[in-house]
Amino acid sequence: MKKTALLFPGQGSQSVGMGLDLYQEYDYVKNLFDLAENITNINISELCFKGPIKELTSTINLQPILTTVNIACFEILKRNGLKADYATGHSLGEYTALYAANIISIGDTLNLVFNRGKLMERDSKKNKGTMHAVIGLPIDIVNNLVEEIDPEKQSVSVANHNTETQIVITGQPDKVKKVSELAKKNGARAIPLKVSGAWHSHLMNQAASDFAKNLDSVEFKEPDKSIVFNVSGDIENNPDKIKGLMKTQLISPVKWHDSILKLIEKKVEVFIEIGPGKVLTGLIKKIIPKNYPYKIINLNTAQSFKEFQQRP
């Protein structure tokens, strides 16, 4: 049996209408949306299925909405009997991975991402920030450019190491712009991202501190499958250490490149992206070495799940 990993997307994978066919097809998906609406007091189904996109994309709304869709997709898969060996998620998606590994309950998952979104939105209004994607340079060079502008990495830092040469920087707008200008001089492209805050930067320090209290109120259990974590790019199975990793996630880089390499090291050959879009699929294709045997499956529509059930 080939080793399998579940991959859960984060912010940036959303679209108006995501999950609608699942909501119409499965009663338990409707019940999940009802639960999420009761916990958050947000009209999740209305925003998710009809938008407008600006309201959907607002961090305070998007975090519980996207997580609800991710969990809905996982629940369908679980009820079809799939047992995966590993799970991981990109930033926000890591919370669905925690649920998928039975570390936290469904209610706690939705509560956490709702509070996470509120705190991140609050701090993004207090501390103006931005993010740019730097394309074409390896992580060591980007880190050097960041240190050239801010040796302490307090006002600008790396947010995501997505592929070998796709790196997102985050922080104060003027400092991010200066690093981007240096990157361009070194032959890279620098693309401003449509985000409302400097995620995974020290501008989120207060949010991370306040969110730690939310995490402390939640029971973390031993996982029933191994998770590769964003902060370390490695596997951790101790519940207390997992909680510690999640406390620093908001201000730490997402080591996605390292996470996928860890799954390759563990001989994972089947990667299942569960949730809206195909962002993670695109990243994986850029990370996996040539001649490595692998298969990527995207599950986010009723039709895709039916085809998956009918596979030989």
Return the active site residues.
91, 200
> What is the torsion angle, in degrees rounded to the nearest 10, for the CA atoms of residue 5, residue 100, residue 226 and residue 287?
30
Q: Return the DSSP state at 1.
A: -
Rg (CA), the chain: 19
CA distance 71 to 22: 11
| Residues forming a β-bridge with 229 | 234
Q: Quote the CA–CA distance of 45 and 198 in Å, as a whole number.
A: 28
Write the single-letter amino acid at 104: I
What are the helix (H) ranges across the chain?
Answer: 20-25, 27-40, 44-50, 53-57, 59-79, 93-100, 106-126, 139-149, 173-185, 205-216, 239-248, 256-265, 279-287, 302-309
Buried b (16+ CB within 10 A) or exposed e, 134-151: bbbbebebbbebbeebbe
Whether residue 63 contacts residue 114, with contact meaning beta carbons closer than 8 Å, is answered with yes
* Sheet with strand 156-163: strands edge to edge: 156-163, 166-171, 130-135, 189-192
Q: Is residue 228 helix, strand or coil? A: strand
Assigned token pair, 261: 């390499």
